């Protein structure tokens, strides 16, 4: 597929998602401008990201730090307003690289990672914004701080990182109704005075918007089916 054809196809999908976001916001009595679309480009090549950038999207999400390192620095040269979120689990030995490449780390979920990010920030002289990921479904295979430990961990991170801790993120269990999970996260964010709620993906972002999401992470509805392997080596 030629670059113009790719840009037209992905640009059309992007516009359709934007219209759905705006409709969901209006249905919830919210201003669509208060919701940021994070286009999740996991495993999709840089050419696809460039096509979506050319259609006016500036905020992207990547799961793997190593893939983000390989894909995004060259794109920033052409699109300096690009913002990158790391949305997958981060190993402590990847904290320095994550802090170097990301504008936001959405998956802060344990004290050892907070320690590693703090050390990376000292070394780099900068910190990205951060979200605490909460495992609202108590799924052992998923990243995220346990619900029962979340309040104490959030308070610890706020004391440590100040305004760099911006909010919370969750990924509800696939088989559950996501609304109770989103409502739980929203209540927790309000209790801690945190402004950012990252919740909702291609299949449930309208429900997330109804519960107060300020970031929605959408990949398949924009980029299409995810390739089975990454163009970069795995973490």
Contact call for residues 65 and 90 (beta carbons, < 8 A): yes
User: For residue 118, what are the CA distances in angstroms to 46, 129, 174?
Assistant: 30, 12, 33
Amino acid 159: pLDDT: 96
For the chain, the distance separating the N- and C-terminal CA atoms, rounded to the nearest angstrom, is 29
Amino acid 7: pLDDT: 86
Contact call for residues 89 and 112 (beta carbons, < 8 A): no
Query: Which residues does the chain have with pLDDT short of 50?
Result: 232-235
Amino acid 234: pLDDT: 36
- Beta-carbon neighbour count of residue 2 at 10 Å? 7
Mind listing the domains of the chain with CATH numbers? 3-223 (3.20.20.10)
Q: Write out pLDDT tens, residues 35-53.
A: 999 999 999 999 999 999 9
Q: Which distant-in-sequence residues (6+ apart) come within 8 Å of 134 by Cβ?
A: 109, 144, 145, 147, 150, 168, 169, 170, 185, 188
Please provide residue 146's backbone torsions phi and psi, each rounded to the nearest 5 degrees: -65, 150
Amino acid 5: pLDDT: 87
Which 3-state string (H, E, C) describes the chain?
Answer: CCHHHHHHHHHHHHHHHHHHHHHHHHHCCCCHHHCEEEEECCCCCHHHHHHHHHCCCCEEEECCHHHHHHHHHHHHHHCCCCEEEECCCCCHHHHHHHHHHCCEEEEECCHHHHHHHHHHHHHHCCCCEEEEEEECCCCCCCCCEEHHHHHHHHHHHHHHHHHHEEEEECCCCCCCCHHHHHHHHHHHHHHHCCCEEECCCCCCHHHHHHCCCCEEEECHHHHCCCCCCCCCCCC
Integer Cα distance of 156 and 151 in angstroms: 9
Least Cα distance to 102 among 79, 76, 139 occurs for 76
């Amino acid at each position: 597929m030629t670059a113009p054809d790719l840009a037209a196809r992905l640009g059309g999908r992007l516009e359709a998602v934007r219209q759905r976001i705006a409709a969901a916001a209006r249905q919830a009595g919210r201003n669509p401008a208060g919701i940021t679309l994070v286009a999740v480009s996991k495993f999709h090549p840089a050419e696809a990201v460039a096509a979506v950038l050319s259609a006016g999207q500036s905020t992207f999400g990547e799961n793997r730090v190593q893939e983000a390192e390989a894909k995004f620095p060259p794109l920033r040269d052409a699109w300096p307003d690009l913002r990158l979120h790391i949305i997958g689990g981060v190993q402590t030995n990847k904290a320095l690289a994550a802090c170097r490449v990301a504008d936001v780390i959405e998956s802060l979920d344990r004290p050892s990672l907070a320690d590693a990010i703090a050390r990376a920030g000292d070394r780099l002289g900068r910190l990205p914004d951060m979200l605490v990921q909460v495992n609202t479904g108590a799924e052992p295979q998923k990243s995220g701080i346990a619900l029962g430990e979340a309040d104490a961990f959030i308070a610890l991170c706020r004391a440590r990182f100040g305004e760099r801790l911006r909010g919370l993120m969750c990924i509800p269990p696939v088989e559950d109704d996501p609304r109770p999970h989103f409502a739980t996260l929203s209540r927790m964010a309000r209790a801690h005075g945190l402004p950012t709620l990252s919740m909702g993906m291609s299949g449930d972002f309208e429900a997330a918007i109804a519960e107060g999401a300020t970031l929605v992470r959408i990949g398949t509805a924009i980029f299409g089916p995810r390739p089975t392997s990454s163009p970069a080596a795995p973490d």
